[in-house]
């Protein structure tokens, strides 16, 4: 079905975490839903975060107590509905002489954080003496160290899978998902959106109508609104955040670290992640196209310098970086003031100056997407003049969120996966790994592993195509199997993956070769400075 000439209760533009969450909530409440994205799912801001599900400790500095409370509450919800993706993470804060945030301020922040996360399932904070912190993390810089703090938040290794599972849940509840289909026209008459025109990557086009349209395009939000032909002031004033990924280094910590940058006082995370370390982020006003964003050499050097300062035996240089990534935070447009002071609260804006039935989502966090979606669909119900069923997303597990004990046993008995491969599969697919087993039983080559370490199943490629919306090698490698986020970006497996994809999708040799070249170009771009 292509959605042409059909009518929906709700059309969602954007398949990042906000759009996916909104689609899931709407479909579960019985609305007819269609979702569009000009690219693949989670190919923008949602994939460029620090991959934390956290309360936003630093938001307390700016008095955004309700946001911290909301974030901590949603952290608990996400641990409940996606336990395979969202895992507890212990974080240390070293406190140095001369820092903007001293021991007393940090302790007050820790106490407030604990109070705001009452009924939490994770331990409260601890304040550490200098010698206690150094005993546990001997690689930490000792010069000027006064004390430390330790607390728990949560980490999502693969945000891409969280977005995917929300879209899978939306589709299972009846939503239509249209990726790589760009909305090029929003036709407004009599102050209402009458129809949407869209174009597919193959040049085909179509049209549909919806009673309500939600613009969840993130940093592309203003570009989407421009398709109405009605001039408005900009709503998005995005800031760029960049990260680098390195292997474990000399003196590397056991836990995550949250440090104050010496050069500008900005908080930076140094996080154990995906068997490597993720370091970020920056916060720089950005005026260019979100399509062209990348980490600058200056940002990379800044992150390297701060990591080397805190862990002086690391001696990290540009050659130690496996890859970097960057994205635009879709924050409210503000001409003046420090970037860090721009609110991280989301705004659900009804675009009355354009159309009564058009809503735009400004801002939002990976952690709070579910609550944002609930609030959005509550408003959509009012616009539809319908009493909708109560939201169920806070306690309804995502598709991979069921218990995995039986699935683990089956993976061990049916496949040739090594123990590390079994764990990798469960960390990515959760209980949906049972779908992999069904495909693996079709023929022996699909039950085979693709790598020497026996951690990647051939069936994963077929699952990505048949059931997870993948249409390109980049989709498969970077946003389904998650091989693109490994230290080698999955490069040794590109040819084998292309062969499997070509057979499943009916590609000829030219298409398979072109796909590999595009995949390599994408991987190379992430390695450039």
In the chain, DSSP finds a helix count (H) and a strand count (E) of 15, 18
Specify whether 325 is located in the same domain as 360. Answer: no
The reported pLDDT for the residue numbered 343 is 64
Q: Is the peptide bond before 281 cis (omega within 30 degrees of 0)?
A: yes
Count CB atoms within 10 A of the CB of residue 26.
29
Q: Provide the CATH number for the domain around residue 87.
A: 3.30.9.10
Q: Are residues 245 and 327 in the same domain?
A: yes
Separation in Å, CA 7 to CA 32, 199, 204, 253: 9, 17, 19, 54
Task: Confirm whether pTM is higher than 0.75.
Answer: yes
Work out the number of other CB atoms within 10 angstroms of the CB of residue 99: 19
Tell me the CATH number at 356.
3.50.50.60
Q: What tens digit of pLDDT does each residue of 197-211 get?
A: 999 988 899 999 999
Please enumerate in sequence order all residues whose Cβ is within 8 A of that of 315, keeping only pairs 6 or more positions apart, or say none: 249, 250, 308
Say if residues 193 and 207 touch (Cβ distance below 8 Å).
no
> 164-174 as b/e, with b when 16 or more CB fall inside 10 Å?
bbbbbbbbebe
> What pLDDT is attached to residue 335?
64
Tally of domains in the chain: 3
Alpha-carbon gap, residue 30 to 298, rounded angstroms: 49
Q: Cβ(90)–Cβ(123) under 8 Å?
A: no
Does residue 494 belong to any structural domain of this protein?
A: yes
Q: Helix, strand, or coil here: 58? A: helix
Mark whether 426 and 515 lie in a shared domain: yes
Angle at 129 between CA 123 and CA 134, to 5 degrees: 95
Whether residues 215 and 177 fall in one domain: yes
Q: Nearest 5 degrees, angle CA 362-CA 82-CA 463? A: 95
Q: What is the mean pLDDT of residues 191-195?
A: 97
Residue 27 lies in a domain: yes
**For residue 101, is it within any domain?**
yes
Q: Read off the pLDDT band of 338 (50, 70, 90).
A: low
pLDDT digits (tens, 9 = 90+) for 110-152: 888 888 877 767 788 899 999 999 999 999 999 999 999 999 9
Residues 466 and 377 in one domain: no
What secondary structure, in 3-state letters, does 369-404 show?
HHHHHHHHHHHHHHHHCCCCCCCCCCCCCCCCCCCC
Q: By the 8 A CB rule, do 325 and 47 touch?
A: yes
CA dihedral of 397, 400, 402, 404, whole degrees rounded to 10: -160
Strand partners, 361: 348
Q: How far apart are CA 23 and CA 16, in angstroms?
A: 11
For residue 37, is pLDDT > 70?
yes
pLDDT digits (tens, 9 = 90+) for 71-104: 889 999 999 999 999 999 999 999 999 887 778 8
Does position 165 have pLDDT exceeding 80, yes or no?
A: yes
In a domain? residue 58: no
The answer to the question of residue 221 being in a domain is yes
Q: Quote the domain boundaries for residue 180.
A: 6-45+160-236+343-384
**Could you tell me if 367 and 511 lie in one domain?**
no
Same domain, 34 and 114: no
With bands split at pLDDT 50, 70 and 90, how would you rate the model's confidence at 2?
Answer: very low
Phi, psi of 367, deg, nearest 5: -65, -35
Decide if 54 is inside a domain: no
CB-based contact 91:153 (threshold 8 Å): yes
Residue with tokens 């940093």, as numbered in its chain: 219
Share of the chain above pLDDT 70, in %: 97
pLDDT tens figures, 482-492: 999 999 999 99
Asked if the structure places residue 50 within a domain, the reply is: no
Q: Dump pLDDT digits (tens) for 513-522.
A: 999 999 999 9
Site of tokens 């546990």:
136
Task: Encode pLDDT of 296-327 as tens digits.
Answer: 999 999 999 999 999 999 999 999 999 999 99
CB within 8 Å of 331: residues ≥ 6 apart: 236, 237, 238, 239, 342, 343, 344, 362, 363
My answer on whether 89 and 192 are in the same domain is: no
When pLDDT is averaged across residues 493-504 and rounded to a whole number, the result is 98
For residue 165, the SS3 value is helix
Judge whether 182 and 204 are in contact, CB under 8 Å: no
Terminal-residue alpha carbon distance, the chain: 42
Per the listing, tokens 């970037």 go with 339
Instruction: Indicate if 410 and 471 belong to the same structural domain.
Output: yes
Confidence (pLDDT) at 329: 93
Question: What does the alpha-carbon distance between residue 366 and residue 16 come to, in Å, rounded to a whole number?
Answer: 10
Whether 325 contacts 48, CB under 8 Å: yes
DSSP 231: -
379 & 442 share domain? no
Residue 341: band (very low, low, confident or very high) from pLDDT cuts 50, 70, 90:
low
Instruction: With cut-offs at 50, 70 and 90, classify the pLDDT of residue 1.
Output: very low
395 is a domain residue: no
Q: Match 């995917």 to its residue by tokens.
A: 164
278: Cβ contacts below 8 Å, ≥ 6 apart: 50, 51, 243, 244, 245, 269, 270, 271
Question: What is the residue whose two structure tokens read 């993956």?
Answer: 497
Query: What value does the mean pLDDT take over residues 327-339?
Result: 77
Give 340's pLDDT tier (boundaries 50, 70, 90). Answer: low
Same domain for 475 and 356: no
* Predicted local confidence at residue 3, as pLDDT: 43
Query: What average pLDDT does this structure show over 383-394?
Result: 97
The neighbour count for residue 437, using CB atoms within 10 Å, is 18
Write down the pLDDT at residue 206. Answer: 94
Contact predicate 437/411, CB 8 Å:
yes
Q: What is the largest CA-CA distance in the chain?
A: 69
Pick from 332, 365, 394: which residue ends a domain? 332
Asked if residue 321 and residue 440 are part of one domain, the reply reads no
CATH number for position 474: 1.10.8.870
Q: pLDDT tens for residues 220-279?
A: 999 999 999 999 999 998 899 999 999 999 999 999 999 999 888 888 999 999 999 999
Q: How far apart are CA 481 and CA 463, in angstroms?
A: 10
**Taking CA 137 as the corner, what is the angle to CA 135 and CA 143, rounded to the nearest 5 degrees?**
85
For residue 183, is pLDDT > 70?
yes
**Average pLDDT of the chain?**
93
Q: How far is CA 476 from the centre of its chain?
A: 16
Higher pLDDT, 175 or 57: 175
Rounded Cα distance, 82 and 156, in Å: 10
């Amino acid at each position: 079905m292509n959605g042409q000439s059909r009518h929906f209760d709700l059309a969602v533009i954007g398949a990042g975490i906000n759009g996916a969450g909104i689609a899931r909530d709407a479909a579960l409440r019985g609305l007819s839903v269609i979702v569009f994205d000009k690219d693949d799912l989670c190919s923008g801001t949602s994939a460029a975060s620090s991959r934390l599900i956290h309360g936003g400790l630093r938001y307390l500095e700016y008095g955004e107590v309700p946001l911290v409370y909301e974030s901590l509450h949603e952290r608990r919800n996400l641990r409940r509905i996606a336990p395979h993706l969202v895992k507890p993470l212990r974080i240390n804060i070293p406190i140095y002489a001369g820092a903007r945030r001293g021991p007393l301020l940090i302790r007050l922040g820790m106490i407030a954080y604990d109070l705001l996360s009452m009924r939490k399932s994770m331990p409260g904070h601890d304040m550490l003496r200098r010698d206690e912190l150094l005993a546990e993390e001997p690689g930490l810089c000792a010069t000027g160290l006064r004390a430390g703090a330790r607390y728990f938040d949560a980490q999502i290794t693969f945000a891409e899978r969280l977005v995917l599972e929300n879209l899978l849940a939306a589709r299972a509840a009846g939503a239509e998902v249209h990726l790589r289909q760009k909305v090029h026209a929003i036709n407004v008459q009599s102050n209402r959106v009458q129809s949407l025109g869209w174009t597919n990557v193959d040049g085909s086009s179509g049209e549909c109508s919806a009673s309500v349209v939600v613009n969840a395009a993130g940093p592309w939000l203003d570009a989407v609104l421009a398709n109405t032909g009605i001039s408005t002031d900009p709503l998005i004033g995005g800031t760029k955040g960049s990260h680098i990924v390195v292997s474990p280094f000399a003196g590397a910590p056991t836990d995550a670290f949250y440090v104050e940058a010496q050069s500008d006082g900005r908080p930076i995370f140094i996080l154990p992640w995906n068997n490597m370390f993720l370091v970020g982020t920056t916060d720089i006003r950005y005026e260019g196209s979100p399509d062209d964003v990348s980490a600058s050499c200056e940002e990379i050097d800044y992150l390297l310098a701060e990591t080397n300062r805190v862990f002086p035996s690391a001696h990290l240089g540009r050659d130690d970086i496996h890859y970097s990534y960057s994205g635009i935070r879709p924050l409210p447009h503000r001409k003046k003031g420090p970037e860090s002071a721009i609110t991280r609260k989301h705004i659900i804006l009804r675009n009355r100056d354009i159309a009564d039935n058009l809503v735009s989502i400004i801002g939002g966090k990976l952690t709070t997407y579910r609550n944002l979606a609930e609030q959005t669909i509550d408003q959509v119900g009012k616009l539809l003049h319908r009493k909708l069923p109560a939201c169920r997303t806070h306690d309804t597990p995502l598709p991979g969120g069921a218990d995995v004990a039986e699935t683990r046993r089956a993976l061990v008995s049916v496949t040739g996966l090594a123990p590390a491969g079994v764990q990798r599969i469960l960390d990515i697919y959760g209980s949906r790994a049972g779908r992999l087993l069904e495909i693996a039983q079709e023929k022996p080559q699909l039950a085979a592993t693709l790598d020497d370490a026996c951690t990647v199943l051939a069936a994963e490629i077929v699952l990505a195509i048949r059931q997870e919306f993948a249409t390109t090698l980049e989709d498969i490698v970077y946003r389904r199997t998650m091989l693109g986020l490994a230290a080698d970006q999955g490069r040794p497996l590109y040819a084998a993956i292309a062969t499997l994809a070509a057979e499943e999708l009916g590609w000829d040799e030219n298409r398979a070769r072109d796909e590999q070249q595009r995949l390599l170009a994408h991987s190379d771009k992430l390695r450039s400075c």
